[in-house]
Amino acid sequence: IKTLSGKVAIVTGGSRGIGAAIALRLAESGADIAITYASRADSAEAVAQQIRAAGQRALAIKADSADAAAVRSAVDQAAAAFGRLDILVNNAGIFTGGTVEQVTLEDFDHIIAANLRGAFVASQAAAAHMGEGGRIVSIGSNLVGRVGRAGIGLYVMSKAALTGLSQAMARDLGPRGITVNIVHPGPTDTDMNPATTERADQARAAMAIPKYGEPGQIAGLVAWLASPEAQYATGGTYTIDGGTNA
Ligand code: NDP
């Protein structure tokens, strides 16, 4: 059923991986979709074509999440092009590895800008366009629930902060009937985290069901949170990780 008919969504980092799967899934549910990307214009255009093939309007906008003006302008452009804005998915994210002895202050500032500040700016801009029934869903990480290994501190920090922001925004925007939630995926097969490496074997060994996640599975949960049925679900953290943190 097209539960999102007549709705408009913007998905940051929608040109590949989990974001592309979310964009397509929301389109299949009947929403018109804007996606942002950092540099891969052809991947973004390919996703936009798939959205159009699914019968929805699509717009691909280059907007580095670390660039607040670009993010704000992308959100405004999407709302202007499609005449409204109902759903924001804060998916764009980067991974910077290294222990506390190895990473630099520049690494710290960059990951906060890309993973946290970008989501904050997008949420602020999107909320200004949303009415009753608006939806904000962010993509965190199951590592927030259990760090488990060395060398991922900056990434975990950025996602933990995003979790706090998401819960707090649920309180701020609740009176307007806008829900705000965060999804915490475990290892999911994308360019960022391919299922074929030695690290992937270790990740599988830590799961209750030792199978890597697929982007479409994460997209299914996001699509539910974005649906009208999920009105009662707000301020939540939703782990989807094959039981890694169980
Ligand atoms: P990918 O690296 O496969 O794809 C990243 C997407 O985000 C691309 O569309 C990319 O655009 C875009 N992007 C990257 N940096 C920026 C930026 N600075 N500004 C705007 N867009 C940007 O990542 P995944 O699909 O694996 O990850 C998506 C989200 O899920 C991230 O937030 C990640 O942290 C999170 N996550 C992923 C997990 C995994 O195992 N894969 C597990 C838990 C969380 P372009 O194509 O132009 O480069």
C-alpha 246 to ligand 1 mean position (Å): 25
Cβ neighbours of residue 130 closer than 8 Å, sequence gap 6 or more: 85, 86, 88, 173, 176, 178
Write the burial class of residue 175 (CB in 10 Å: 0-12 exposed, 13-18 middle, 19+ buried).
exposed
CATH code for the domain defined by 8-240: 3.40.50.720
131 backbone φψ class: left, alpha, beta (φ>0; ψ -120 to 50): beta
Q: Which residues of 192-215 are buried (b: 16+ CB within 10 A; e: fewer)?
A: ebebeeeeeeebbebbeeeebbeb
Q: Which of 37, 155, 212, 238 is catalytic?
A: 155
Q: pLDDT digit string (tens) for 196-231? A: 999 999 999 999 999 999 999 999 999 999 999 999
Atom number, ligand 1, closest to the C-alpha of residue 64: 19
Cβ atoms of residues 234 and 134 within 8 Å: no
Q: pLDDT digit string (tens) for 146-191? A: 999 999 999 999 999 999 999 999 999 999 999 999 999 999 999 9
What are the structure tokens assigned to 178, written together?
């806008």
Q: Is 61 in the pocket of ligand 1 (CB under 6 A)?
A: no
pTM of the model as a whole: 0.99
